[in-house]
Amino acid sequence: MTQPGPAHHVFRYGSGDFADTVIARASGSYVYDRDGRAILDFTSGQMSSILGHSHPEIVAAAREAVGRLDHVHSSFLTDDVLAFSEALAAIVPDPLTKVLPLSTGGESNEAALRMAKTVTGGFEIVAFDRAWHGVTGGAASATYSGGRRGHGPGLPGALVLPTPDPYRSPFVTDGHHDWRAELDFGFDLIDRQSVGQLAAVIAEPVLSSGGIVELPEGYLAALQAKCRERGMLLILDEAQTGMGRTGTLFACERDGVVPDILNLSKTLGAGLPLSASITSAEIEEACVERGYLFYTTHAADPVPAAVGRKVVEIVVRDRLHERARELGAYMKDRLRDLQQRHECIGDVRGRGLLLGVELVEDRQSKRPARELGLAVAQRSLELGASLNISRRQVANIFRIAPPLTVTRDEIDTAIAILDQAITECVARGPAT
C-alpha cells in the first residue's frame, strides 16, 4: 500500500515507510520540521554533515562556486578541482597522491574496485560479512548487511570475512577476543573458495551500518599483510570515518596503515554529494596503461570540489579531529553511565564521534532487543532527538554521530532524551 500523506508520490527507496516528520530547514546541530519544532540531529544527516547544517563558510563557498562555474564536460579540469585535489593530497598519508573526484560513496567504491581489478588482473573481492559499501554493481556485491535479496545474483567473485565483533564473536573466550585466529580462519575459507583471481579486500575501519563495529587495534595491519601475501590491494572505505570523525583525520592513521586506495565520501562534502578515490601514482599509472575507464557525468564537477576544498580547510584549521576525540570520549562516558542504569544496554562502543549503543533483552543471552530499539528511536524523535536505527536487522543498535561542531550542552541534551526514552519504553513493556 502506498504511504499516504505528503510522501504519496515518493518512491520508498528504503526498507519501509518514511518518517512522519517532514524537515523544512536546518542549522547547526538541529533540523526543524514544518511546524518549527527543533530536533537534535545526532546522525549528521545521513552520517555526513560533520560541520553541522548550513555552515556559513560552506554556504558561501557553494553560492560563489555555482554562480561562477556550475558544470563542465568531464574531459575538462577546473581551478576548483585542481585546488581540491591538491588540498586533499596534502592531508592523506603518503604515497596517496592521485585523487579521483566523484559524487557518492558507492561510486567511489565502484571506482576503487575497478582499479583493483585492472591492476591485479583478478576479479575476486573480499568484504566483511556485515559490510555496507553501496547499492550499485560491485559495491552491492561487497555489501552484506542488507539489500542482497530480490534482484538476482551479484557479481562473481564476492567472498566474505567474518566481522571481528568483540561483543558477539565466537572467537571470544573468557572475555578475550582472539581476532587473529578469527582473521586466519576467515582467510583459510577465502583461500579454499578462491579460483586464484583475488583482487582486493574492501573494508571500513569502523563498520557503521553493520552495527558500529570497530576493527581491533592491530587488525588493519594484519589484514594488509594477508593482502600482500596474496597480491591483493587493500581498499579502505572511510565514508563515515574520514575527515576527523574518529579522532584522527583518517581512522587508518591510528593503526599506522596506508591502504592502496583510500575512499572518502559523506563527510568529505559535509552533506553535499562529493566523494573521492585516492591512490598512489604507481597504481594510477598502471590503471592508465591498462585502459582504465571510469567516465561519469559528474566526475570532477567544480561546485562540489569547491565545497570539498573548504571542508578540508575548516577541518584542518579548526582541528576538528581533536575536538571529535575529546567530545567523543565525553559522550562515550555519558553513554556508559546510562549503561550502568539500564540493564537493556548491552554494549557501548565506537571511537570519536561515531558511537554505537546496543540494546539487548538481557545481558546474559545478548538477544537483540529490536522492538525496544524501534520504540526508543521513535520516542527519542518525539522528545526532540534523531538517533539512528539503520535497518530492521540491526534495529537494536543506535548509530550516534553528531556533527564535529556539536557542543557539550547538546550532547547532554541528547543523552537526557535517550535516558528518558529508554526509561519510558522499558516501563511500557513488550507491547511497545
The average pLDDT across 185-198 equals: 98
Write out the catalytic residue numbers: 132, 204, 237, 240, 266, 399
Q: For the chain, what is the mean pLDDT?
A: 95
What are the pLDDT digits (tens) for 266-290? Answer: 999 999 999 999 999 999 999 999 9
Going along the chain from its start, the domains and CATH numbers come out as 56-317 (3.40.640.10), 323-343+420-427 (no CATH)
**Residue 17, pLDDT score:** 75
Average pLDDT over residues 156-175: 96
CB distance 391 to 377 below 8 Å: no
Per-position b or e across 418-431, b if 16+ CB within 10 A of its CB: bbebbeebbeeeee
DSSP three-state, residue 276: strand
Q: For residue 391, what pLDDT band results from cuts at 50, 70 and 90? A: low
Cβ 373 vs Cβ 430: under 8 Å: no
* Residue 215 to residue 191: CA distance in whole angstroms: 22
% of residues, the chain, pLDDT over 70: 97
How much is the pLDDT for 380? 97
Q: What is the pLDDT of residues 8-43, one digit of tens each?
A: 888 888 767 788 889 999 999 999 999 999 999 999
Q: Are 65 and 302 in contact (CB under 8 A)?
A: yes
DSSP H or E run through 113? helix 105-120
- Residue 291: per-residue pLDDT: 97
Query: Could you please report the per-residue DSSP string of 314-372?
Result: HHHHTTHHHHHHHHHHHHHHHHHHHHHH-TTEEEEEEETTEEEEEEBS-TTT--B-HHH
User: Are residues 5 and 19 in contact, defined by beta-carbon separation less than 8 angstroms?
Assistant: no
- Each residue's pLDDT tens digit, 40-81: 999 999 999 999 999 999 999 999 999 999 999 999 999 999
d(CA 301, CA 304): 6
The reported pLDDT for the residue numbered 415 is 98
pLDDT confidence of residue 3: 59
Helix (H, G, I), strand (E, B) or coil at 25: strand
pLDDT of residue 105: 97
Average confidence (pLDDT) over 165-187:
97
The average pLDDT across 156-173 equals: 97
What tens digit of pLDDT does each residue of 296-314 get? 999 999 999 999 999 999 9
Is the per-residue pLDDT at 2 higher than 70?
Answer: no
Task: Report the pLDDT value the prediction gives residue 432, as an integer from 0 to 100.
Answer: 42
User: Span 87-114, mean pLDDT?
Assistant: 98
Please give the sequence-ordered ranges of beta strands (E in DSSP) within 192-344, or none if there are none. 198-203, 206-207, 213-214, 233-237, 261-264, 275-280
pLDDT digits (tens, 9 = 90+) for 209-228: 999 999 999 999 999 999 99
pLDDT per residue over 331-369, tens digit each? 999 999 999 999 999 999 999 999 999 999 999 999 999
Structure confidence by residue, pLDDT tens digits, 401-423 = 999 999 999 999 999 999 999 99
Closest by CA to 225, choosing from 254, 252, 187, 192, is 187
